[in-house]
Amino acid sequence: MPSLLTDNAKTMLSKPNPAVISTVRSDGQPVSAATWYLMRDDQVLVNMDVGRKRLEHMRKDPRVSLTVLDEANWYTHLTLIGHVTEIYADDGLTDIDALSRHYQGKQYPDRDRPRVSALIAIDRVHGWGAQKNNDQPDGRG
């Protein structure tokens, strides 16, 4: 299947940008939280403490969205709408270390609690600013 991401989007997503992930509670209410992410080919890797509520949400309903803000210009952002394809224990903390090195340049400091990783397949991409990929008015007219 061809990638839904343009080369320009892949370049933006390869940077340690601020991001917010949204999950769906069991009552249908969306919940969002700031998160780190990494691209793994055309999937998104996220990682969380084993006690995070969003992990429970993902297990019950795999639908998620991740909004990534370009660190240099927050008007430019991408929202990746997708679903969790895999949830697994981050044995050895290799995934959180990769995320921490990407965002902070060093190994993740908290080694005392188990971590869990999730892979997200992208079903749709909504871009804005320099990543705009739709015909909605941008309000800058």
pTM of the predicted structure, to 2 decimals: 0.91
Task: Note the pLDDT of residue 23.
Answer: 98
Identity of residue 130: A
- pLDDT, residue 132, reads 66
Strands 115-128 and 38-40: unpaired
Does domain 7-130 match CATH 2.30.110.10? yes
Three-class DSSP labels, the chain: CCCCCCHHHHHHHCCCCCEEEEEECCCCCEEEEECCCEEECCEEEEEEECCCHHHHHHHHCCEEEEEEECCCCCCCEEEEEEEEEEEEECHHHHHHHHHHHHHHCCCCCCCCCCEEEEEEEEEEEEEEHHHCCCCCCCCCC
Average pLDDT along the chain, 141 residues, taken 10 residues at a time: 87 96 96 97 96 96 97 89 98 98 97 97 88 64 51
Q: What is the pLDDT of residue 121?
A: 98
